[in-house]
Amino acid sequence: MPKPNYAFAKRQRELAKKQKKEAKKQQKMNEQAPGPQDAPAAEPPTTGQS
């Protein structure tokens, strides 16, 4: 029976963790981006009508 390659398994876990962290970071950036863009867009029509 071959001996397990723990270094390979550890590297795979680290890569998976890094990918998950990056995906979470991207999701947070996407959630934050629409908020500030929507607020200024809502104000100009109000000032334009006055």
Cα 24 from Cα 18, distance rounded (Å): 10
Chain segment 7-36, per-residue pLDDT in tens: 999 999 999 999 999 999 999 999 887 655
The pLDDT, as a whole number, for residue 5 is 94
Which region, left, alpha or beta, applies to residue 43 given φ > 0 means left and ψ of -120 to 50 means alpha?
alpha
Give the Cα separation of 5 and 9 in Å (integer). Answer: 7
Q: Looking at per-residue confidence, does 23 or 49 come out higher?
A: 23
Confidence (pLDDT) at 32: 85
